Amino acid sequence: SQQGEEDPQALSIQEGENATMNCSYKTSINNLQWYRQNSGRGLVHLILIRSNEREKHSGRLRVTLDTSKKSSSLLITASRAADTASYFCAPDVGRDDKIIFGKGTRLHILP
């Protein structure tokens, strides 16, 4: 298993702007997942990108994966107040290994 490291630790932007957060990891992966957590609640799965994919979209979310740099980015376009949350990446090495999370990126959307 391995833990992703999200960057930045915290991010504040104006509503309507785009938010970008990054994730770095250390070893080869099977896929990488992004999750969102609203304050004090369970995590919600956002998107999964496989190691042979470079980009994936889901609504206002765009995820990229660069396996050569061992990094991923999550872009949220046209941010809304409801996007205020912590975002976690989860590199998955497969082989029935556990999924562990880093500290996350705390995103705050300003009105």
Partner 1 sequence: KAGVTQTPRYLIKTRGQQVTLSCSPISGHRSVSWYQQTPGQGLQFLFEYFSETQRNKGNFPGRFSGRQFSNSRSEMNVSTLELGDSALYLCASSFNSGANVLTFGAGSRLTVL
What CA–CA distance (Å, rounded) separates 11 from 107? 5
Q: Kindly report the backbone phi and psi dihedral angles of residue 56, in degrees, each rounded to the nearest multiple of 5, phi listed first.
A: -145, 145
Burial code (b: 16+ CB inside 10 Å, e: under 16) for 73-108 equals: bbebeebeeebbbbbbbbbbbeeeeeeebbebbbbe
* Residues between 17 and 76 with contacts to partner 1, criterion CB under 8 A: 30-31, 33, 35, 40-45, 48
What CA–CA distance (Å, rounded) separates 82 from 88? 16
**Applying CB under 8 A, does 11 fall inside the site for partner 1?**
no
Q: Between residues 69 and 98, which has the closer beta carbon with respect to partner 1?
A: 98
Considering only the stretches 19-27, 52-60, 64-72, 100-108, report the one whose residues sit in contact with partner 1 under the rule CB under 8 A.
100-108
SS3 45: strand
Considering only the stretches 12-20, 67-75, 76-84, 89-97, report the one whose residues sit in contact with partner 1 under the rule CB under 8 A.
89-97
Query: Using the rule CB under 8 A, which residue among 7, 60, 62, 101 binds partner 1?
Result: 101
- By CB under 8 A, name the binding residues for partner 1: 1, 30-31, 33, 35, 40-45, 48, 88, 90, 92, 94-104
